[in-house]
Structure 1
Amino acid sequence: MTSIMTPAGLSECAGPAREHEGRVAIVTGSTSGIGLGIAEALAACGAAVVLNGFGPEVEIEATCRRLAEAHAVPVRHDDANMLEPGEIACLVERTARAFGPCDILVNNAGIQHVAPIEDFPPERWDAVLAINLSATFHATRAVLPRMKERRFGRIINVASAHGLVASPFKSAYVAAKHGVVGLTKVVALETAESGVTCNAVCPGYVWTPLVASQVAQQAAAHGLPEEEVVRKVFLAEQPTRRFATVEEVAATAAFLCSAAAASITGTALPVDGGWTAH
């Protein structure tokens, strides 16, 4: 399913707030949560946005319409499967045909599986690596030639605090996110003189509907109050003892896409309440 929405009128925003006017952004895994927050932040800066991800068609259509009307930008949804390299390449080509070549790529799509290594299903390992790491490579590979030709590009890889430190029972996720941080550095070095930057954002625990449901499930499973689950499980390693917000992560990503961040490349920037300061 592919949908496209165009704005009904002109935006009242001007100046730096609309510095991505005329730019084209692809945000993978963006029909909810962090990805959607980043897409909205880029739309607010004037970029045409391609959403990617799964969900009820009526909800995705409503999201496209809301972003287009709120920010006066074209918004498109593409349901390319991030497990398939061919579909990722087609996502980039369909974007170019609809809006023009991709100027901003946000690699956000990701999945998780938790289990001890000896019990970790090999097929889940393969899937986590494919979506969290390999899809980042395939999408980056697809957009780079045109970014280099135009001497402008911003690649933001949504890694994780788990791209910098480890936790038990998350072997595939930790391996993939460490790989994303390494890939970020390689891309930054290879594009250093081309006008393209590549950075990783490394969130700690972020309050999203998915995390809210996980808190509720853990509380029910262990017979504990949700507040205790949050304190002892989710935020045990996060010194601020609060969840980061989607808006905080989105604002960080948007800054890294800005002209002010033109000399920032190859970084892994934590948004983790001090987790990785331990």
Structure 2
Amino acid sequence: MTDRFPEGRIALVTGATSGIGLAVAEALGAAGAHVHINGLGSSGQIAAALAAVRMAGAPSASHHVADLRDPDAIRAMMAAVGSVDVLVNNAGIQHTASLAEMPDERWDALIAINLSACFHTMKAALPGMAERGFGRVINIASVHGLVASVNKAPYVAAKHGLIGLTKVAALEMAAQGSRASGGVTVNCVCPGWVETPLIEPQIAARAVDGDRDAGIRALLAEKQPSLRMTLPAEIASLALWLCRREAHNLNGAALPVDGGWTAQ
């Protein structure tokens, strides 16, 4: 596995100004892909993300401001990017409340960004992938695409839907391309707890006498048997492997990276 199979290919990663998305964008850049990112953030944060992708080795990197709640904006972004070889649907939002108390507008936003946006990007990208005989769609779902938790109705519904959508697309693309070309595959990665800045307050709240590791163990104890979080770079390594030629027959899968959460 010494060749740089994604080298020179065009990649689009949504939700890539931080966290898992940025780590995936950096990994693709390090493998020689031309990387397009989409995501929220200040001008400084966006500039820093692009600099990180270029520093990783991407021959080019650009940012697209499309609002993923808007199908027209998504179509415009896909047209601007052009022929996409690697599509990583990572953007997502969350809102916790009981089903009875979930605001209608939050339901609509979560379904739009976590599920419908993936449909629109895939609809635009898959025909070209099929024509070229190579393509990779990697949908960053969640452990909540496989199991449920209370107070997360729209998130769980969207992530379960994303896994179903992934399976349909995988079946429709399964015979495209060849072993030599790499084929067209559509898969989900389903992370459990991932160590990102967004969860630091939850760790700190559980830390005893400032012991961060104790805080992590306490946070994960209910769900994730490993008691270890996954790093964004580890998710990125899996995503990069899925882009390789030898992954041509790994298709339609929902791959849990959850420390045993869904094995219980």
Paired position in structure 1 for 2:201:
213
Paired position in structure 1 for 2:89:
107
In 1, the alpha carbon distance for the partners of 2:59 and 2:201 equals 32
Paired position in structure 2 for 1:82:
68
Paired position in structure 1 for 2:180:
none
Which residue of 3, 7, 14 corresponds with 1:28?
A: 14
Which residue of 76, 80, 98 corresponds with 1:116?
A: 98
Any unmatched runs of 5+ in structure 1?
1-14
Paired position in structure 1 for 2:59:
73
In 2, the alpha carbon distance for the partners of 1:230 and 1:71 equals 33
In 2, the alpha carbon distance for the partners of 1:252 and 1:225 equals 30
Deviations 1:28-71 (A, max 9, x none): 00000000011111111111000110111122113212321331
Q: How does 1:255-270 map to 2 (within 5 A)?
A: 255-270=241-256
Report the CA distance shift for 1:208/1:82 in structure 2 as closer, same or farther (over 3 A).
Answer: same
8 Å contact 1:215–1:230 — kept in the other structure? yes
Paired position in structure 1 for 2:117:
135
TM normalised by structure 1 equals: 0.87
RMSD over aligned CA atoms reads 2.0
- The alignment partner of 1:16 has SS state of coil
Q: How does 1:138-217 map to 2 (within 5 A)?
A: 138-194=120-176, 195-216=183-204
8 Å contact 2:31–2:58 — kept in the other structure? no
In 1, the alpha carbon distance for the partners of 2:220 and 2:119 equals 30
- The count of aligned residue pairs is 257
Amino acid at match of 1:169: N
8 Å contact 1:235–1:242 — kept in the other structure? no
Identical pairs, percent = 51
TM normalised by structure 2 equals: 0.92
